[in-house]
Structure 1
Amino acid sequence: MRPIITLTTDFGQRDPYVASMKGVILALCPDAAIVDITHDVPKFDVRAGALIMAQAAPWFPKGTVHVGVVDPGVGTARRAIVAVSERYFFVGPDNGLLMPAAMKDGLKAVYAIENRKLMLERVSRTFHGRDIFAPVAARLASGLRPEEVGPVIDDYVVPSFAEPELRESEVRGEVMYIDGFGNVITNIPEGLLAELGISDGSDLEVEVGDRVLRLKLRSAYGEAKPGELTAIIDSWGMFEVAVNLGSAAEELGARPGDKVVVRPARGGRKP
């Protein structure tokens, strides 16, 4: 099977940045199958990029190299890293972007990219995606051992949004992403809700930012009336607030980073 390299960036499609990265990859690994996960991560939004990578990565074959470039700290002291998980390699900046995906797959080790021979001859201050991440990804796809990129590190950045908090009677997390339908996607997985006895049909009290809502956890958007707010476990297994045939983000004024608290409603129905 051809080696697979995925790309997730906030570059958009109008500029030559994505094509430049692909050119570097193909020059070093001509057989690579390059898959664009997305280049429409909201600009500089590490949180959104992390969620997209974490949800897309698990569907790829073992050995896939996942490259993420949402890098507002490019050119600063932030490190370039390779994170190795049970099945994949993740290449990108040490700003938390890669960690949710790597941790979800079982993080094994993280290496700082310091081997200058693996980079392009000239490394710019503003485009490490092309000059560092792309050539390292291509070489990993061609069989480079991750230990060759540089030393193992243990002080890599793990963002707060990677770890929602389970308390005695509630789960605390945050808004990770607003999708194209206006659905408010959180970092709270179905499994944490199950530990509180929450499942389809449960009545919930949900805080999103400063709003406190009484919602039912439904198994399909269509179970709610048109225009009605509802809660659902999405196709990624994450807790989501939605409006049937509408935008929950617009109705709630929700934004990535807003706090989210979910608890069983007092006196509410449990399935």
Structure 2
Amino acid sequence: MALVTFLSDFGDQDYYVPAVKARMLSINPQLSIIDISHSIEPYDLEHAAFVLRYSFREFPKGTVHLVGINTTGTMTHGYIGVKLEDHIFVGPNNGILSLLADQDPGIMVQFADIHLKDTPFPTRDILAPIAAKVASGAAIHDFGGPLTNFRKLMSRQAKATKEHILGHVIRIDRYGNLITNIRREVFEKLNPGKFTIQFGRESVQKLQTGYDQVEAGDPYAFFNSLDLLEIGIHHGHGGNLLGLKRDSVVYINFES
């Protein structure tokens, strides 16, 4: 099956998304195009990378992922294709593709000038045709040569000692739940049995396994389906009620 996913910050009020899809379908009407999201905050590479990092592995291997985020920004150093864990990504060389995994992609291709054009809409005019052709059987090597200047961005990492873990909020979802960069495996390796999780004006000494294990209005903490520590207020917007935002600090103090 010729499968392409599409991620952008275009929203759904303009012609941008259907124009990109139409360009791909004009090349191969049999393509199956799946929208990951078009509600990414404008130019927000971290938001986009978070959504793509934790969703692309759910698709079949061999899927082509079209990434249309900040494709005309000053950070963009050309347009590239990469192969990561048997998935193909087509997008701008602005650092977003470096945030999808802890290791570099196995194959990285800089698209050649012959496939580029001077356009204010590169997602439609440059990336969409390449994505459609790759999904239809072409190799990303057909569109350029080895990439030598893969732009990288550094994601914020939690810091851990035997006494504590210092992490940060990396995403606040539409419900106000706060997802942190504290991983389950790190917590379980260090946890002596007693701990306090401090976030904003609240603290908890117990982990739940889901949202509904505390009363409405009470704080909670548990490791979510991504094995990341999630915190918040049950049936409340945790970000607003706790005074927290992206990059806010979350502490776990261990008691021996």
TM-score under structure 2 length normalisation: 0.87
Ranges in structure 2 where 5+ consecutive residues have no aligned partner: none
In the TM superposition, residue 76 of structure 1 has moved relative to its aligned partner by 6.1
Q: Tell me if 1:252 matches 2:242.
A: yes
Separation in structure 2 between the aligned mates of residue 194 and residue 10 of structure 1, nearest angstrom: 36
Separation in structure 2 between the aligned mates of residue 192 and residue 73 of structure 1, nearest angstrom: 38
In the TM superposition, residue 107 of structure 1 has moved relative to its aligned partner by 2.7
> What amino acid is aligned across from residue 10 of structure 2 in structure 1?
F
2:76, 2:93 within 8 Å by CA — same for their partners in 1?
A: no
Ranges in structure 1 where 5+ consecutive residues have no aligned partner: none
Separation in structure 2 between the aligned mates of residue 192 and residue 159 of structure 1, nearest angstrom: 23
- Relative to structure 1, the CA distance from residue 160 to residue 176 in structure 2 (aligned partners, 3 Å threshold; closer, same or farther) is same
* Structure 1 partner of 2:63: 64
Percent same amino acid among aligned pairs?
27
Separation in structure 2 between the aligned mates of residue 128 and residue 116 of structure 1, nearest angstrom: 14
In the TM superposition, residue 33 of structure 1 has moved relative to its aligned partner by 0.2
- Relative to structure 1, the CA distance from residue 76 to residue 104 in structure 2 (aligned partners, 3 Å threshold; closer, same or farther) is closer
Over aligned residue pairs, what C-alpha RMSD do you find? 2.5
What SS does the aligned partner of 1:98 have?
helix
After TM superposition, where is structure 1 displaced by more than 6 Å over at least 4 residues in a row?
Answer: none
In the TM superposition, residue 77 of structure 1 has moved relative to its aligned partner by 5.1
Separation in structure 1 between the aligned mates of residue 51 and residue 76 of structure 2, nearest angstrom: 25
1:74, 1:128 within 8 Å by CA — same for their partners in 2?
A: no
Among 119, 136, 143, which residue is 1:149 paired with? 143
Alignment of 1:1-271 (within 5 A): 2-71=1-70, 73-74=72-73, 78-101=77-100, 103=101, 107-117=105-115, 119=116, 122-124=117-119, 126-161=120-155, 164-169=157-162, 170-197=164-191, 203-207=195-199, 211=200, 213-215=202-204, 216-256=206-246, 258-266=247-255
In the TM superposition, residue 262 of structure 1 has moved relative to its aligned partner by 3.7
In the TM superposition, residue 11 of structure 1 has moved relative to its aligned partner by 0.6
2:48, 2:69 within 8 Å by CA — same for their partners in 1?
A: yes
TM-score under structure 1 length normalisation: 0.83
Number of corresponding residues? 254
- Cα deviation 1:50-76 (Å, max 9, x = unaligned): 111111111101110111222165366
- Relative to structure 1, the CA distance from residue 31 to residue 187 in structure 2 (aligned partners, 3 Å threshold; closer, same or farther) is farther
1:229, 1:242 within 8 Å by CA — same for their partners in 2?
A: yes
* Worse-superposed segment, 23-32 or 72-81: 72-81
Separation in structure 1 between the aligned mates of residue 81 and residue 166 of structure 2, nearest angstrom: 30
